[in-house]
Amino acid sequence: MNDVIKITQDLIRCPSVTPKDEGAQELLAALLSDAGFECHHLPFGEGEERVPNLFARIGASGPHICYAGHTDVVPPGDESKWTYGPFNPEIKDGILYGRGASDMKGSVAAFAAGAIAHVNKNGAPENGSISLLITGDEEGVAINGTAKVLEWMDENGHIPDVSIVGEPSNPDQLGDELKIGRRGSLTCVVEVRGRQGHVAYPERADNPMPRLARVAAALSDYEFDTGNAYFPPTNLEITSIDVGNPTENVIPNAGTIHFNIRFNDIWDSDGLVAKLHEIIAGLSDDYQLDTRCGAVSFLTQPGAWSDVVSSAVEEITGRKPELSTKGGTSDARFIQAYSPVVEFGPINNSIHQIDEHAKVEDLENLTVIYERIIELYLAQ
């Protein structure tokens, strides 16, 4: 059996700080090729922006289950603060330490080991396919990673019927949460304008500051919705209010409010932008609103696919995972446009930290869970 811990350790030894790979995907491709997977190396981007990606598939027909993950990691920070060093995977008291142990080389190793175990027991699937979509660009700008691989998969007949992202989804224990969607993110800046002038001659100026304050209050107070069964309410947070006025006797020309909205599936970004214009235009004639949608919101309706994953998790851990949409964005935001996608992976309490770690037992159980998911899904 391919040992999940050995694979994780081998991957951690590759210092694949985004967007570097340092042999991580080559190592994975070698393992998968040996088990009969057809591997495609799919680098996208030029020069400094070149990102390594790997797509591996076994089986030619549907139903097709795809695992998505990344082999890049965030920088280690001050390496001298690590107990064993970030790229020196050590096990102490049943805990494996190293950058990527949880986010998410341990997860990638668990799925690879689980899928290989399934193939070793059952042979290559005759009716069905198993694939892995591995990017080196998840922790970076995410331009030349999953989004581009999906386009390639679409052009080459590799779009899966269901997908699972192996990001660390569990807050404390394996089996806590199964993510079935994510909120969207809209980053905005509004400039409220007036006319500059001398504080002693306010009739010749138009001070935008009171309007700026009213706009800030109105944005912050607005109740977009009250949430629904799977999502918390849409929330707007002001991150900065700036005037940049160094003087005490000049009425400023304009001021800006920076804010971010995390929105549920009741809204899309166009609808939100229209609502923002309505709120702001009601208080200020002269303004400019700029927005950037970092992620759309999505929900994979609970049903056949989430049931398969949920029952495999419950079988192995004895815990029924809560269906959740909490947390930041992941590459599931790209995958949701092509197939139903859920997220289940390691514990996230040490990710991006010094001494990132994962319990050996959890990675072993995760391997069995992924193998069971494959088994249950392909048996349908």
Active site residues: 72, 138
Cα(39)–Cα(138) distance, rounded to whole angstroms?
20
Q: Is 137 a residue that touches Zn ion (CB under 5 A)?
A: no
Beta bridge partners of 322: 177
Cis amide bond preceding 321, omega within 30 = no
Which residue sits closest to Zn ion, CB atoms considered?
Answer: 103
Interface stretch with Zn ion, choices 3-11, 39-47, 165-173, 359-367 (CB under 5 A): 165-173
Count of residues that bind Zn ion according to CB under 5 A? 3
Kindly write out the interface string for residues 49-88 of this chain, putting x where it contacts Zn ion by CB under 5 A and - elsewhere.
----------------------------------------
Kindly report the number of other CB atoms within 10 A of residue 201's CB atom.
9
* Region from 163-171, 215-223, 269-277, 360-368 binding Zn ion, contact rule CB under 5 A: 163-171
Find the binder of Zn ion among 39, 104, 113, 142 (CB under 5 A): 104
CB of 167 to Zn ion, least distance (A): 5
Report the nearest approach of Zn ion to the CB of residue 176 (Å): 17
CA-to-CA distance for 144 and 43, rounded, in angstroms? 8
Nearest to 330 by CA among 299, 364, 303, 295: 295
Distance of closest approach, residue 138 Cβ to Zn ion, in angstroms: 5
Residue of 21, 72, 103, 137 interacting with Zn ion (CB under 5 A): 103
For CA atoms 364, 369, 374, 376, the dihedral sign is positive
Please say which residue, 22 or 167, places its beta carbon nearer to Zn ion.
167
Q: How far is the CB of 34 from Zn ion (least distance, A)?
A: 26
Nearer to Zn ion, 4 or 104 (CB): 104
- DSSP code of residue 170: B
Q: How far is the CB of 162 from Zn ion (least distance, A)?
A: 20
Residue 131 or 169: the one with the smaller Cβ distance to Zn ion is: 169
CB distance 117 to 367 below 8 Å: yes
**CB under 8 A, 24+ apart: contacts of 248-251:** 248/199, 249/198, 249/199, 249/200, 250/196, 250/197, 250/198, 250/199, 251/194, 251/195, 251/196, 251/197, 251/198, 251/199, 251/202, 251/205, 251/206, 251/207, 251/209
Pair 168, 104: CB distance under 8 Å = yes
- Least separation in angstroms between residue 199's CB and Zn ion is 52
- H or E, element range at 65: strand 64-70
Q: Which stretch binds Zn ion (CB under 5 A): 166-174, 175-183, 189-197, 285-293?
A: 166-174
Pick 275 or 352: Cβ nearer Zn ion = 352
Q: Give the range of 36-44, 95-103, 151-159, 305-313 binding Zn ion by CB under 5 A.
A: 95-103
Cα separations in angstroms, 30 against 34, 38, 281: 6, 10, 59
List contacts with Zn ion (CB under 5 A): 103-104, 167
